[in-house]
Structure 1
Amino acid sequence: MERSRRKEIKRHLTEEEIDELLREAEDDHHLRRLGFLKNLYQGDSIPEAADREGRSATTGGRWADAWNEDGLEGLMPSFGGGRPPKLDEDEQEELIEMLRDGQPWKSQEIQHLLQEEFGVSYSPNYLGTFLRELGLSYAKPRPKRPHRPENPDEILEERVDDALDEDDQPHNKREQEDEERWMVDDDICTDGGTVLGFFDASKPQPYDNSRRVWYVDDPHIEPELVKTHDSAVGFYALNGESLVTFTEDEKKERICGVLEQVREQNPGKRILLVLDKHGAHRCKYTRKRAHQLGIDLIFIPSGSPHLNPIEQVWDYLKWTMAPIVVENEDEFKNLVQETFEKITQRISFAKKWCEKFLDFQKLS
C-alpha cells in the first residue's frame, strides 16, 4: 500500500550507467546526488534515499523533482557562471534543518553558527536578505496558549455544522444532564429563520495612549480621566440586531440578562451565538436559560480568541474612540454604545470567518 503512494521515479539512465558515473565522480555533491538516485533505483522511498546520503526528506523531494523533469542535468548542482555562493544547496538545506531544530534564533547566534559549522560569515546588512531567501521569517515570537488544541479550526467547524443541523434535542444540553425544564419558553418563536452572531465581554476604558496624534507643544491630556469598572458585553450580529450593554460583573445572572436582551432585539428567529468558554458562559444555568430563549451556543475551542470576530470589533472600537476625552462615566458608556452600533453595521470583521466556517445553505 505504501509503495503505491510513492512518487514515480523516471529512469532516464540505466542502473549500470549510474554505477559508471559513481565510479568516475570526484565531487562530493555529485557523489551524494548519484548515491541518492541509486538508492531510489534500489527501491528506497524518497525519505529513505535522502537519509542514506545524510539529507532531509525535503531535499530528497527537490532532487527527485529535478531528476524527473530534467534528468541528470537537472539533478547535478549548478552554480552558474558567477561566483559560487558561500553555502551550496546541500549546505543551505543542512543550515535550514539546524535552524529549524533550535528556533528561534537571534542574528548574532546565526552568525556564530555559520562560522562554527560552515566556516563562513555574512555581512550583517546582507544576513537578513540571505535568511529571507532561505524562507525564514523575522518576527516577534508569540506565546503559544497552553490550553489551545492542535486543531481549533476543525473543532469549531464541526461545532458550527452540528448547530446548523437542527434536531429535537436541546443543542446546549449535555448527555448526562437531567431533562427538567430543557424547553423553549412558550412565548418564544424561532421558526422565522436564523440569526448568527458573536458574543463577548470587554473592558474598554475612556482613554488610550496607544494611538499617535499631532501636537504643537506638549503631548499630554490635561483633563482628569474618568474610569469605569463595569464590563461591556456585546453581541455582534451578522444578519440581525447587534447590541452592547454594561454590567457590573460577568456572573451567570448578568450574562443571562444580556441574552434576554439579545432575544428581545431579535424576535421570531433562532439565534446561533458564537462565544468563548468563560465559566459564566458554559455553566448549566446559562446553557439552560439560553435554550429556553431559543439561543444555541457555539463555543470556540479553549485558547482560541482569534476564532471569535467580535474580538476585532472590540479592537477597532478602542482604536476609533482614542484619544477622545469624556466628561464622565455616563458620557463614556453612551459613546461606547454609539460607536459599537455604528461599526457593527459592517460584516467585514467576520468575512473570513464566514468563508471558512459557514455553510450558507444550512443557514438560510
Structure 2
Amino acid sequence: MGSRRTEIKRHLPEEEIDEMLREAEDDHHLRRIGFIKNLYQGDTIPEAADREGRSAATGTRWAEDWNEGGFEELMPSFGGGRPPKLDEDEQEELVEMLRDGQPWKSQEIQHLLQAEFGVSYSPNYLGTFLRELGLSYAKPRPKRPHRPENPDEILEERVDDALDEDDQPHNKREGEDEEGWIVEDDTCTDGGTVLGFFDASKPQLYDNSRRVWYVDDPHIERELVKAHDSAVGFYALNGESLVTFTEDEEKERICGVLEKIREQNTDKRILLVLDKHGLHRCEYTRKRAHQLGIDLIFIPSGSPHLNPIEQVWDYLKWTMAPIVVENEAEFKDLVQKTFEKITKRISFARKWCEQFLDFQKLS
C-alpha cells in the first residue's frame, strides 16, 4: 500500500462517517464525506478522488484539510456573501479541462462552462475570472513540428565541433565519395577565421508593421516596385558582409554566392552559419563550400531564431518601408546600400556570440 493511505488520520469512527453520508444535504458535502469514506476503505488519494469525480490534486488538498482539522476544515464555507458560481473544486476541474484542450477562444470557454457546469459569465467579467484562475491571454505562437527539444544545445555542440579543426573535411559526411573534397590550391585559410551568417530573403518596399499617416483610408493603392529575384545575404561579424540577388535559389546559384563571399574574404577560414535548406545540405553545396575553405554550421530544424541574419532582414525591411523608388534596379541598389550599412553593427548577433561562441577558439 502506498504512503498516501497511511497518512490519513481517523478523526471519527467509520460508523459516524456513514451516518453523515446519509444526512448530507448537498453535493459539496456528499463528495467530501464520500472521499474520506473511500480512504477509510483503503483507497489511495487519487483513487478516492476519482470515485468522487475529482482530480488527484483536489484529493491531496482535501486530505491535507482533513488531517489538519477534520470535517470542520474540510467542508466548504462561502461566508455571508453570495456564493460563487463555481466552488473551489469545480474551478480546479475547469482548469484541468482548459489545460487539456488549450488554447481556447472566449466563446469556446463560455460554451464549456454552460455544457459542463450549467453556468455562464458576462463577457466583461469572464477575462477577470479566468485570470484569477491563473490563465494567460496572448496571441498563440505556432509550434514548429520539426524543432528538436534542445536546439540551443545542438547548435552549441555544432559550433564547438566546427571550431575544433582537424584534418577531416568538416562538411563531409561519413560514407561519401572521397573525390573532390580538397581545398583549392589558390585558397588560403591560415590567416584567421571569419564568422558569418547566411540566408536568403525577398525584401519588398512595404511593411505592415509600420504606421502611416492617412485622412480616412489607410490602404495603399499606388503601384509598388517589387523585386522578383531573391536577395542572398552574408552577415559577417569580423569580415566583409555581402548581399546579392539571384534569379532562384538552386544549388549552383547558392555556390555562386559562396564564391563571392570567398572573393571578399580572402586568406581566412570562413565559418558559415545557415539553415538546413535542402539545397544548403546537399553534397554539391557542401563539397563546393569545402573547396572554397568554407565550413558550414547548420542550425537545428525549425529554429530560425538561432540565425542572427533573420534580425538583419527584419530591420532592413523596416528601414526601407517608407522609401519611394522608381524601378527594380533602384530598389536593388537600395537593398545593397541598406544591407551594407546595417551589417556594420554586430548588435544583431551579440547575444548569439555570448551564448555559442568561444572567442579563444575563434582567434
Equivalent residue of 1:181, what SS? coil
Q: 1:13 to 1:320 in 2, by over 3 A?
A: farther
* Compared CA separation, residues 52 and 206, structure 1 to 2 (3 A): same
Q: Which structure has the larger Rg?
A: 2
Q: Return closer, same or farther for 1:193/1:220 CA change in 2, 3 Å cut-off.
A: same
Q: Contact 1:194–1:270 (CA<8 Å) still a contact in 2? A: yes
User: Secondary structure of the equivalent of 2:6?
Assistant: coil
Q: Which 5+ residue runs of structure 1 have no aligned equivalent?
A: none
**Following TM superposition, by how much is the alpha carbon of 1:282 offset from its aligned partner in structure 2, in angstroms?**
1.1
CA shift, 1:198, in A, is 1.4
- Bigger shift: residues 298-307 or 225-234: 298-307
Structure 1 residues 325, 184: CA separation in 2 closer, same or farther (over 3 Å shift)?
same
For the 8 Å contact 2:234–2:261, the answer to whether it is kept is: yes
Moved more, 114-123 or 250-259: 114-123
Q: Give the structure-2-normalised TM-score.
A: 0.76
1:19 shift after superposition: 14
Report how many aligned residue pairs link the two structures: 361
Q: How far apart, CA to CA, are the structure 2 residues paired with 1:194 and 1:60?
A: 61
Q: 2-side partners of 1:5 and 1:163: how far apart? A: 53
Q: 2: CA distance between counterparts of 1:169 and 1:143?
A: 39
CA–CA distance in 2 between the matches of 1:63 and 1:241? 67
| SS of alignment partner, residue 6 of structure 1 | helix
Alpha carbons 2:182, 2:290 under 8 Å: kept: yes
Change over 3 Å in CA distance of 1:114–1:321 after alignment to 2: same
Provide the rounded CA distance (Å) in 2 between the counterparts of 1:39 and 1:192.
77
- In 2, the alpha carbon distance for the partners of 1:255 and 1:8 equals 68
Q: 1:191 to 1:120 in 2, by over 3 A?
A: same
The answer to whether the 8 Å contact 2:5/2:43 transfers is no
Within 2, Cα distance between the matches of 1:22 and 1:160? 67
Displacement after TM superposition at 1:85 (Å): 3.9
TM superposition shift of 1:110: 1.0
Give the distance between the partners of 2:171 and 2:301, measured in 1 at CA.
17
The answer (yes or no) to whether the contact 1:229–1:248 under 8 Å persists in 2 is yes
Report the CA distance between 1:243 and its aligned residue: 1.6
Give the Cα separation in 1 of the matches to 2:361 and 2:49. Answer: 48
**Structure 1 residues 148-157 or 14-23, which shifts more?**
14-23
Cα distance in 2 for partners of 1:238, 1:9 equals 64
Change in Cα spacing, 1:271 to 1:72, as seen in structure 2 (3 Å) is farther
Cα separation, 2, equivalents of 1:211 and 1:315: 12
Q: Is the 8 A contact 2:194 2:239 kept in 1?
A: yes
> Could you tell me the TM-score, scaled by structure 1's length?
0.76
- 1:225 Cα deviation after fit: 3.3
Shift of 1:297: 1.0
- Structure 1: distance between partners of 2:293 and 2:67: 60
Structure 1 residue 124: deviation in Å?
Answer: 0.7
CA-CA distance at 1:126 after TM superposition = 1.3
Do residues 73 (structure 1) and 72 (structure 2) align? yes
Distance 1:57 1:218 in 2: 56
Instruction: Name the CA distance, whole Å, in 1 between partners of 2:182 and 2:11.
Output: 72
Structure 1 residues 227 and 54: alpha-carbon distance in aligned structure 2, compared to 1, 3 A threshold: same
Note the C-alpha offset of 1:197: 1.9
| Per-residue Cα deviation, 1:194-225 (whole angstroms, up to 9, x for no partner) | 33221111111234555331145876768643
Q: What is the rounded CA distance, in whole Å, between the counterparts of 1:68 and 1:261 in structure 2? A: 76
Per mean C-alpha deviation after superposition, the further-off stretch among 77-86 and 343-352 is: 77-86
Distance 1:156 1:7, change over 3 A: farther
Contact 2:28/2:76 (8 A) holds in 1: yes
